Amino acid sequence: MNISYQKMADDYIKWVNKHQKPKFTNFLDPIVREEIEYELKKYEEISYKEDGGYENAERKVVAIFPAEIKFDLQFPITAVAITTKGEQQLTHRDYLGAILGLGLARDKIGDIIVVESKAQIIVMEDIKDYIINNISRVGNLSVTAKEISINEIILPEEKYKDIFATVSSLRLDSIASAAFNISRSKMAELIRIGRAKVNWKIVDDVSYSINVGDMISIQGRGRARVDSIDGKTAKGRIKIHIKRFI
C-alpha cells in the first residue's frame, strides 16, 4: 500500500475512534478509495460507506464511522449547475479548468456531468457558494451558476458501440487492440509508455490479464469495458463482447 494512503487511512481511523462519530473525506478517485478502503477493512470496529451523488460516479466521498453505532449519514455534497450563454459546446476540461482557476482544490470537486450547454458539477457543500458567487466565465463564454439538489442531476444516456471479437488470449494488449481497432504491436507500444489504464490504474505490462467488468482506457482513444467472455471458437480463440464508449 502507498504509505501516504496508509497514513491518510490511519488518521481517519484515529479521529473516528476518538470522537465516535462519522468522518467524511473529500472526493477520492477510485484508486485512492481502493487503497484507503483496503486499510479500513482491517478494523472490525470501523465501517465505511461511499457516495458520489449518483450510482456510477467515479469520484466519491467516503464516510468512516464506528461500526456499532447507527448513523443517519448526510453526505456533505451538493451540485452546482453552470449554464453557458453561447452556442459553443464546452467540455469537461473547460469546466474543470475554470473551477480550479478559482483557487479550489481538486478534491473538493466530484464528477462533472456535461449535458448540452450545461454542466452539473458535484461538489463539497462548503464550496458551493464560492463557486456560484465567483464563476462568471468558462473558456470564452459567460456563464451563470446555481445550486441544484443531487436528485435534480440529469445523467446523459450512456452511448457505446458493441464489439464482438475473438482474441488469442486475455492479455491487455490483445483485448485493447480489439477494443480500439489498433494493431497489437502499436497497442503494445502505447501500453509500454504508460498510455493505458485498467480500472483507473496505469498498467504498462502488455501481458496484464483482463477480466470481465474491467474498464480499459487508452489516452486519446477513449474507454472500453469487457462485458462478457463467451467461450471459444472451434480453433481455440476466445470470444469476447466489449462495450466501447462513444
Per-residue pLDDT tens digits of the chain, which is 246 residues long: 566 888 899 999 999 999 999 999 999 999 999 999 999 999 999 999 999 999 889 999 999 999 998 889 999 999 999 999 877 889 999 999 999 999 999 999 999 999 988 999 999 999 999 999 999 999 999 999 999 999 999 998 888 999 999 999 999 999 999 999 999 999 999 999 999 999 989 999 999 999 999 999 999 999 999 999 999 999 999 999 999 998
Q: Are residues 40 and 97 in the same domain?
A: no
Of 42, 66, 90, the domain-final residue: 66
Q: Rounded to whole angstroms, how far apart are CA atoms 53 and 58?
A: 10
Q: Nearest 5°: CA angle at 56, between 40 and 121?
A: 100
- 99 within domain boundaries: yes
Dihedral sign computed on CA atoms, order 66, 70, 76, 81: positive
Domain around 52: 3-66
- 125 within domain boundaries: yes
Of 47, 66, 85, the domain-final residue: 66
Q: Side-chain half-sphere of 98: how many Cα atoms within 13 Å?
A: 26
- 92 within domain boundaries: yes
Say what the pTM is.
0.81
- 71 within domain boundaries: no
Of 135, 152, 169, the domain-final residue: 152
- 72 within domain boundaries: no
- 96 within domain boundaries: yes
